[in-house]
Structure 1
Amino acid sequence: MHVMGIIVEYNPFHNGHLYHLNKSKEVTDATHVIAVMSGNYIQRGEPALVDKWARAKMALSCGVDLVIELPFVYAVQSAEIFAYGAIKLLDSTNIVDSICFGSESGDIKALTKIAEILAYEPNSFKSSIKKYLKQGRSFPEARQIAIAEHLKASSNILATPNNILAIEYIKNLMRLNSKIKPYTIKRISSGYHDVVIRDNIPSATAIRNILKASNMHKINGTMPDICYEELIKEFNKGKGPVFIEDFEMPIFYTLRKVNKRELMEIQDVSEGLENRLIKYSREAGNLNELISHVKTKRYTMTRIKRILIHTMIGIKEQDLKIFNANGGPQYIRVLGFNEKGRNLLKLIKERSQLPIITNVRNTAKYPALIKSMLEIEARATDLYVLGFKNPLERKAGRDQMTSPIVV
Structure 2
Amino acid sequence: MRTVGLIVEYNPFHNGHLYHLQQSLKITESDAVVAVMSGHFLQRGEPALLDKWSRTRMALAGGCDLVIELPVAYATQAAEWFAFGAVSLLEATGVVDCFCFGTESGELEPLLAAAEAVARETPAFKTMLMQRLQTGISYPSAYSGAVADYLAVQGNRTAAEFPFAMPNHTLGLHYLLALRRIGGAMQPFTIAREKAQYNQETATDSKIASATSIRKLLLEQRSLEGARPYVPASTYQVLEEQWQAGYCPVSWEPFMSSLLHAVITRTPGELAALREISEGLEHRILRSLPKLSDISFEELLAELKTKRYTRTKLQRALLAILLGHAKADFTADKLSAGAEYIRVLGFSEKGKELLRRMRRSAKLPVLLSAARPPAMYRYLELDVKASGVYMLGVPAKTAAGSLFRDYTDKPVTLDCLE
TM-score (norm 2): 0.93
Q: 2:169 & 2:344 partners in 1: Cα distance?
A: 28
Match of 1:190 in 2: 196
| Pairing of 1:141-152 with structure 2 (within 5 A) | 141-152=141-152
Structure 2 runs not aligned, ≥5 long: none
The answer (yes or no) to whether the contact 2:3–2:33 under 8 Å persists in 1 is: yes
Aligned partner of residue 391 in structure 1, secondary structure:
coil
Q: Indicate yes or no: 2:413 matched with 1:403.
A: no
In structure 1, what is the Cα distance between the partners aligned to 2:57 and 2:399? 19
Find the residue that maps to 2:338 and give its secondary structure: coil
User: Corresponding residue for 1:232?
Assistant: 240
Q: What pairs up with 1:236-255 in 2 under 5 angstroms? A: 236-255=244-263
Decide whether the 8 Å contact of 2:13 with 2:235 is kept in 1: yes
Write the letter of the residue equivalent to 2:34.
I
Residue aligning to 2:361: 351
How does 1:152-301 map onto structure 2 within 5 Å? 152=152, 153=157, 155=161, 157-199=163-205, 200-213=207-220, 214-284=222-292, 285=294, 286-301=296-311
Aligned residues: CA RMSD? 1.6
Say whether 1:130 aligns with 2:130. Answer: yes
Name the residue aligned to 1:60.
60
2:115: which partner in 1?
A: 115
Note the C-alpha offset of 1:393.
Answer: 4.8
| Distance apart, 1:325 and its partner CA | 5.8
Partners of 1:358 and 1:389 in 2: CA distance: 28
| SS at 1:336 equivalent | strand
In 2, are the aligned partners of 1:361 and 1:401 still within 8 Å (CA)? yes
Give the stretch that moved more between structures: 9-18 or 397-406. Answer: 397-406
Per-residue deviation, 1:156: 5.2
Question: What is the one-letter code of the residue matched to 1:318?
Answer: A
**Residue number in structure 2 paired with 1:310:** 320
Mapped pair 1:389 → 2:399: no
**Deviation digits for residues 249-301 of structure 1, max 9, x if unmatched?**
11111111111121111111111111112221343232212212222211211
Q: Look up the SS of the partner of 2:309 in the other structure.
A: coil
Q: What CA distance in whole angstroms lies between the structure 1 residues aligned with 2:139 and 2:197?
A: 22
Q: Partner amino acid for 1:299?
A: Y
Partners of 1:46 and 1:116 lie apart in 2 by 32
Distance 1:54 1:323 in 2: 33
Select which of 334, 343, 351 maps to 1:333.
343
Question: Retained in 2: the 8 A contact 1:363–1:374?
Answer: no
Cα distance change, pair 174–51 in 1 and its aligned pair in 2 (3 A): same
Letter in 1 for 2:223: N
Greater mean deviation of Cα atoms: 155-164 or 350-359: 155-164
Secondary structure, counterpart of 1:135 in structure 2:
coil
TM-score, scaled to structure 1: 0.95
Q: Secondary structure at the match of 1:255?
A: helix
Contact 2:201–2:212 at 8 Å: present in 1 too? yes
Query: What SS does the aligned partner of 1:396 have?
Result: helix
Structure 1 counterpart of 2:50: 50
Inter-partner Cα distance in structure 2 for 1:125 and 1:292: 34
Structure 1 unpaired stretches of 5+: none
Alignment partner of 1:116: what SS?
A: helix
Distance 2:178 2:371 in 1: 33
Larger displacement relative to structure 2 (156-165 or 146-155): 146-155
Shift of 1:392: 4.1
Alignment: residue pair count: 403
- Taking the aligned partners of 1:363 and 1:69, their CA distance within structure 2 comes to 18
Amino acid at match of 1:400: Y
CA distance in 1, matches of 2:162, 2:26: 28
SS state at 2:230 partner:
coil
Instruction: Give the deviation of 1:168 after TM superposition.
Output: 0.6
**Residues 144-184 of structure 1, C-alpha deviation per residue, up to 9 Å, x if partnerless?**
22222222345552221111111110111011111000000
What SS does the corresponding residue of 2:105 show, helix, strand or coil? coil
Query: Contact 1:323/1:329 (CA < 8 Å) preserved in 2?
Result: no
Q: What do residues 23-44 of structure 1 show as CA deviations (whole Å, max 9, x unaligned)?
A: 0000001111110000011111
